[in-house]
Amino acid sequence: MGEPIERNLAAKDLAVTFLDFPGEVTYAAIDAMTAQARADASDCVIAVGGGKAIDTGKCVAIRLDSPFISVPTAASTDAPASLGAAVYNEQHVRIGSERLKRHPDIVIADTAVIARAPARLLAAGIGDALSKKFEADAAITAGVDSYHGYRAPRLVRVVADLCYAILREHGHAAYADVQVGRSSEALEAVTEAIILLSPMVFENGGLSFAHSMQTALMQGRGTKARMHGEHIAYALLVQLAVENRHDAFIADLMDYLRPMKLPTSLAELDCAEPTEMELNEIARITFESNWSRNVPFPVGEEQMIAAMQRIEILSARHRVVA
């Protein structure tokens, strides 16, 4: 994207400095890029790329107190339109978060660009956005304040239902289109759900069990190498098991996830035959997150471990039957 951006800005007599993203959102990378931007007297930050590149751009804009424009090259996350940015260390362990004073001034989501990204990235974005309906519902029912510190408006449930409905109706078609690099109405709809509707739901409704579990999966055997949305797809199944949803409901969602190669078990997250110690550790780290308490009923580590075991059994049994 660099060459056309530079050419078009130059045509308007606007100078541009390119800051190379090193691949991880670390404080060292943020500080180095901020220093270069200050040295060049930059007055606006444009972040082009995936979720990590965009989160890094947010952190630089926060330090410069400048306008921020996000240009996602894949619909892999809801980072482009949201306020928050996650910060990690070099081992990809989350160590902090930052927040823009206001939402991005402009978000440019061009499906002609997004269609050229690997299909796995779109699948991850679908996995991340899919959970928002259920997480917001749990948080709202529990009476938790929103990300902005106020009671969730009723509109959130409407947006959450719309987001989920779009993904269920158009997700597979959009995934197939991206596999061949084709922009389409299905991709337009799914991009809107991931990049616009999903952050509207989580910021105004709340996050819950699935996102708290993702923190633990980032540190597990095999699982830590997988994408955010892949973690969330599996963690959502566990949340539904914690909520004691019927097997048929969970199996239906597994049927939706599998054509996009989204995981339905720890084995499919590259953690085959998890040991009791590994399950205990995932549960322990999950409950260190405040989001784990955003549920309308008490949940403990034993219940979570039982839910994970249920998902492993259901995933294996349903795969054989299917």
pLDDT digits (tens, 9 = 90+) for 27-86: 999 999 999 999 999 999 999 999 999 999 999 999 999 999 999 999 999 999 999 998
* 167 and 291 fall within a common domain: yes
Length of the chain as a residue count: 322
Structural domains counted in the chain: 2
Domain boundary among 108, 141, 156: 108
Could you report the per-residue pLDDT of 168-212, keeping only the tens digit for each?
A: 999 999 999 999 999 999 999 999 999 999 999 999 999 999 999
* 124 and 40 fall within a common domain: no
The pLDDT score that the predictor gives to residue 321 is: 47
* 292 and 190 fall within a common domain: yes
Distance of CA 86 to the CA centre of its chain: 11
- Domain of 202, in residue numbers: 120-321
* 9 and 144 fall within a common domain: no
* 183 and 309 fall within a common domain: yes
Q: How far apart are CA 168 and CA 130, in angstroms?
A: 9
Which helix (H) or strand (E) covers residue 99, if one does?
strand 94-99
Could you report the per-residue pLDDT of 263-302, keeping only the tens digit for each?
A: 999 999 999 999 999 999 999 999 998 888 888 888 899 9
* 299 and 278 fall within a common domain: yes
* 12 and 64 fall within a common domain: yes
DSSP-assigned states of every residue in 113-131: HHTTS-HHHHHHHHHHHHT
Q: Are strands 84-88 and 106-107 parallel, antiparallel or unpaired?
A: unpaired
* 172 and 279 fall within a common domain: yes
Domain boundary among 55, 80, 108: 108
Q: How far apart are CA 310 and CA 63, in angstroms?
A: 46
Residue 83's identity, in one-letter code, is: L
The pLDDT score that the predictor gives to residue 175 is: 98
* 240 and 101 fall within a common domain: no
The pLDDT score that the predictor gives to residue 322 is: 45
Domain boundary among 88, 108, 128: 108
Could you report the per-residue pLDDT of 116-175, keeping only the tens digit for each?
A: 999 999 999 999 999 999 999 999 999 988 888 889 999 999 999 999 999 999 999 999
* 86 and 221 fall within a common domain: no
Q: In CATH, what number is assigned to the domain containing residue 25?
A: 3.40.50.1970
Which structure tokens are listed for 176? 């197939």
Q: How far apart are CA 65 and CA 11, in angstroms?
A: 26
pTM: 0.93
3-state secondary structure of 260: helix
